[in-house]
Structure 1
Amino acid sequence: MPRLDEVFKKSGVPTHTFVPPAEYNRVAVALKTPGRGIIIEGPSGIGKTSCVKRTIDDVGLADSCLFLSARKDSDAELIAELPLMRKIGVVVVDDFHRLHSLEKNKLTDFIKVLADEEDQESKVILIGINQAGQTLVEYAPDLLHRVETIRFGRTNVERIQELVLLGERALNCSISIADEIAEEAEGSFAMAQVLCHEACLQGHLLETSSESLPQNITISLPRIRESVLAELYPRFFPLSRDFATGNKLRREGRAPYLNLLRWLSQTQEGVLDTKEAMAANPELKGSVGQVIEKGYLSNLINSTNQISSLFHFDPETRLLTIEDPKLLYFIRHLIWSKFAAQVGYFSIDFKSRYDFALSFAGEDRDLAETIAEALTSREISVFYDKHEQHRILANDVEEYLAPIYRSESRFVISLLSCNYPKKIWTKFESDNFKHRFGENSVVPIWYMDTAPSTFDESRKYGGLSFDPEGDLSTQVEAIAGALAQKMEDERAADARKANG
């Protein structure tokens, strides 16, 4: 009699509960087409690999098929040699999006050759995440008509229900909340298997019931969910925490990695278009854009095998993907305010568009830019005109800048050199923020070679000093450190107010 672990399988290809996805027939036809390569893409946990393996068996190609994975170093070496081979049979390269660009491009050229020659004895099948095939087509646009690209989407509820029913028949049982489990799985065959497995465990059904009537398993969905999340916690909480804090916890910053994780949890398929996400969250665009553009996100993902095995980021498409449906399920059930506090942040809600806005004369740009870079590297959101030029273009500059200095930045940093009072734009900016001195929202930085004059009033408030003759990097490090500490104190105060 089948055992529970053989019916509702928490990993591997299902046997008793295989449900052909909607794309099954397209895969079968493509397999029979001589020489024509196949690219299969879609989110994790929806049965791409299971479908390919089952279809290969069904069309009688199993004996001539070789499965390789880009995750395995030993397989990667063989994958690199494929373009030099002929009469290779059917070769499946799983997770091909993880190959280096050079290997992917060589595979692309190889697939084109096989298609042009209509090779009867060779076929390459590539399996990857969403839009994985797009990078190949961009490298070789003429590939588009030489391969069959099949995109797998989220599985519908009806197919998940069919999976549950097949499992019930195999185990001779009836799960009272079968339909609720189908909804809870959110389009993932893999999560449906996990949830059904847990339901049977709690119903004390470990193998097929020998009773004449199906064994009833009566249990609540919240209880199953709680048990599954408790099982996932030891593995996924530490990894989620490490991802959310990046290479270093910066409590003064805007938690860019945590917000990327939060946005991922809100996607339907575990695939985040970071460009769209930043456009929808302008108050976080600066801090999130910084970690993406400077390569910090890629470095974080590649820093450990644990993180790299679960996340993938494509710098070209800017797509961030979760590659384990169980991790996606786990983060979807996080309480984000609580999680933020657990990993060390005060809050993930930010009242202002920017933390700091820089006001300075053009002659002092070196200092302004160095301060901006030092603060953004601490994941703090800074308005610095050079970073915003593409947004300012074709806009009324005064209308664009006035709100930033008037209210949209938490603090204004004014670089008070001898050049500051002489400029039209610094006069305009200061007219918009001078009332904020009384709100403790302006941080003056006084140049030590400039005697107090127009801005004598600024001396009533706390500020910082800069010596133009001194070492720039050393002084900026001290200035940025003081500003970062100020921001951390402000976030802590906000959190105390919010918590009563």
Structure 2
Amino acid sequence: MALLRVEEVFKTSGIPTHTFVRPSEYSRLRVALRTPGRGVIVEGPSGIGKSTAITRALEEEGLDKEVTRLTAREPVDVEYLDALPELGAFGTVVIDDFHRLEESVKRRIADLLKVTADAEDESRKLVIIGINEAGKSLIDSSPDLTNRLEVLRFEAEPDLKIDELVTAGERAFNVSLAARALIVQNARGSFYIAQLLCMDACLQADLTERPEESVEVATTYAAIQRKVVERQRDRFGDSVRSFARGTRFRPGGRAPYLHILRWLSEADSWSISIRDEIRRHPTEKASVFLVLDRGYLASLVAQPAISKLLHFDEKTSVLSVEDPMLTFYLRAVSWPDFVREVGFKRVDYEESYDIALSFAGEDRAYASALRDALEDLGHAVFYDSAEQARFLGQDVETYLGPIYESGSRYVVAVLGEMYGRKRWTLFEASKYKDRIEAGQVIPVWSIKIPPEPFDATRSLFGLDWDPDAAVQDQASAHASVISEKLGLAE
């Protein structure tokens, strides 16, 4: 009789046998699968057991005879999906990675779901697997699907379920794991991670086959984590560093992508809403909102190496992990070491903005161009019209005062002909005047303004701009100088 191997017990690929544990939503899944015509969406992070649960439930219900499995990652499968509405009685079709389908294909699937549900069609069944918010994105595109679908969300499983898996594995492999409590805790609700940690504990104890007599596996959790993280560094290191640096890496930048990674590592689940996180982290809101609003985050996640690890839904602003081991890796790394490895000089700022722009409305064209140029260089800029939604209904002076007093690293004052004649420029100047001696105000003088003997800004080294010349080139040149100044001030 062949000995039972460790990889047959603690399975990290394929369908578990000895360690299968019914997820919390398993009963609802079985009922949904056997309801004629009703579409089923199973959403949740990778590694939570979605595909395994569907396979086992179909087997238990005797529905596994005519099952076609397709994935959005395979072009030939996508072609099949696009033609699905014309294929008649196709049996049960399980669609994996649904979130990666083009919107046009999703709409065709949505229409087919409505038809099969209304007809209670026993010859056609669609089972959709996707990461978080897969059901929401489908319902948003076709609201009348709401009552025609069963949306099952597989969250992180409770520790009780993970403990059940570990216990089953210990029994099957005839071992007792000294690190079992920490394995259960650090699996953070993932069956996959629990399997991997248990296997590594056995491998470090040189147990590759089931012992005849029960063995106490003394491998410590620290040793397990260290070995697993070392392996994941080879898998994820380059891609994670590329993500943290973004598309325009600057050592003195505000590191918005690194903050996003940190938020992801601290989340209770395998996905985060970027907009929700921005509200929770006001100091980083400007820089992260910039990469979100301008589509930089979406473009970065779309890069091939990163798209294998992360998925970003622009409609919901939800960033999700494709590979559960990425989250484990991020939670285990030393963040101070990682910051140094990536190359940032500083990532924690007391100020919400790098630059607060102060200008009269007549000079908005130049100020707007300067703002764009600074943001393109990765800086967080306070620009009044971009913040209107935030201070609607608030006392404007109460909102603006702190930004010019201390809420930005520097104030850039665009000193045009009307600057000292406008109410808001006078107010802003009153708030930043004490920062002039500290070197935290950068003046940009219009060449049309003659020097005045009592103008305090004339004692500062500043920049000149010509209101009658094209603003774009001037703004770009000035932004480069200001950006260099920000870097030197780190």
- TM-score, normalising length from structure 1? 0.95
Distance 1:165 1:450 in 2: 79
Distance 2:32 2:432 in 1: 65
Question: Residue in 2 aligned with 1:460?
Answer: 459
Distance 2:26 2:350 in 1: 49
Q: Offset of 1:323 from its aligned partner?
A: 1.2
More deviation, 469-478/117-126: 469-478
Question: Residue in 2 aligned with 1:242?
Answer: 242
Question: Residue in 2 aligned with 1:495?
Answer: none
Return the letter of the residue paired with 1:417: G
Say how many residue pairs are matched: 488
Question: Residue in 2 aligned with 1:232?
Answer: 232
Return the letter of the residue paired with 1:143: L
Correspondence list, 1:260-271, <5 A: 260-271=260-271
Question: Residue in 2 aligned with 1:27?
Answer: 29
Q: Offset of 1:477 from its aligned partner?
A: 1.3
Question: Residue in 1 aligned with 2:336?
Answer: 337
Maintained 8 Å contact 2:248/2:377 = no
Alpha-carbon spacing, 1:454–1:64, altered in 2? closer, same or farther (3 Å): farther
Q: Offset of 1:455 from its aligned partner?
A: 6.1
More deviation, 137-146/379-388: 137-146
Maintained 8 Å contact 2:285/2:352 = no
Alpha-carbon spacing, 1:454–1:377, altered in 2? closer, same or farther (3 Å): farther
Question: Residue in 1 aligned with 2:393?
Answer: 394
Q: Secondary structure at the match of 1:272?
A: strand
Question: Residue in 1 aligned with 2:291?
Answer: 291
Maintained 8 Å contact 2:166/2:180 = yes
Question: Residue in 1 aligned with 2:128?
Answer: 126
More deviation, 106-115/403-412: 403-412
Q: Secondary structure at the match of 1:119?
A: coil
Maintained 8 Å contact 1:252/1:485 = no
Q: Secondary structure at the match of 1:439?
A: coil
Q: Offset of 1:85 from its aligned partner?
A: 1.7
Question: Residue in 1 aligned with 2:142?
Answer: 140
Distance 1:184 1:351 in 2: 32
Unaligned runs of 5+ in 1: 492-500
Distance 1:283 1:177 in 2: 39
Maintained 8 Å contact 2:252/2:346 = no
**Which deviations, in whole Å up to 9, do the C-alpha atoms of 1:211-267 show, x marking residues without a partner?**
2x3122112110111011011111111111011111121223211111111101111
Q: Secondary structure at the match of 2:366?
A: helix
Q: Secondary structure at the match of 2:489?
A: helix
Q: Offset of 1:372 from its aligned partner?
A: 0.9
Distance 2:218 2:104 in 1: 54
Return the letter of the residue paired with 1:251: P
**Which deviations, in whole Å up to 9, do the C-alpha atoms of 1:449-481 show, x marking residues without a partner?**
221137632121111111223332221111101
Question: Residue in 1 aligned with 2:44?
Answer: 42
Maintained 8 Å contact 2:290/2:380 = no
Question: Residue in 1 aligned with 2:97?
Answer: 95
Question: Residue in 2 aligned with 1:216?
Answer: 216
Matched, 1:415 2:414: yes
Maintained 8 Å contact 2:366/2:472 = no
Question: Residue in 1 aligned with 2:73?
Answer: 71
Distance 1:425 1:338 in 2: 44
**Which deviations, in whole Å up to 9, do the C-alpha atoms of 1:353-384 show, x marking residues without a partner?**
21111111110001111111111222211111
Q: Secondary structure at the match of 1:67?
A: strand
Question: Residue in 2 aligned with 1:380?
Answer: 379
More deviation, 132-141/311-320: 132-141
- TM-score, normalising length from structure 2? 0.97
Maintained 8 Å contact 1:253/1:381 = no
Distance 1:30 1:268 in 2: 27
Distance 1:88 1:73 in 2: 19
Return the letter of the residue paired with 1:16: H
Distance 1:337 1:477 in 2: 34
Distance 1:216 1:425 in 2: 73
Maintained 8 Å contact 2:71/2:95 = yes
Maintained 8 Å contact 2:286/2:352 = no
Q: Offset of 1:11 from its aligned partner?
A: 2.4
Question: Residue in 2 aligned with 1:497?
Answer: none
Maintained 8 Å contact 1:313/1:319 = yes
Correspondence list, 1:144-223, <5 A: 144-209=146-211, 211=212, 213-223=213-223
Return the letter of the residue paired with 1:136: L
Correspondence list, 1:244-259, <5 A: 244-259=244-259
Question: Residue in 2 aligned with 1:81?
Answer: 83
Distance 2:248 2:364 in 1: 29
Return the letter of the residue paired with 1:434: K
Correspondence list, 1:462-481, <5 A: 462-481=461-480
Alpha-carbon spacing, 1:252–1:106, altered in 2? closer, same or farther (3 Å): same
Question: Residue in 2 aligned with 1:485?
Answer: 484
Question: Residue in 2 aligned with 1:448?
Answer: 447
Distance 1:84 1:347 in 2: 57
Unaligned runs of 5+ in 2: none
Q: Offset of 1:328 from its aligned partner?
A: 0.5
Maintained 8 Å contact 2:391/2:399 = yes
Question: Residue in 2 aligned with 1:311?
Answer: 310
Alpha-carbon spacing, 1:455–1:300, altered in 2? closer, same or farther (3 Å): farther
Distance 1:180 1:392 in 2: 47
Q: Secondary structure at the match of 2:188?
A: coil
Question: Residue in 2 aligned with 1:496?
Answer: none
Maintained 8 Å contact 1:43/1:130 = yes
Distance 1:246 1:405 in 2: 29
Q: Secondary structure at the match of 2:367?
A: helix
Q: Offset of 1:142 from its aligned partner?
A: 2.1
Maintained 8 Å contact 1:46/1:152 = yes
RMSD: 1.3
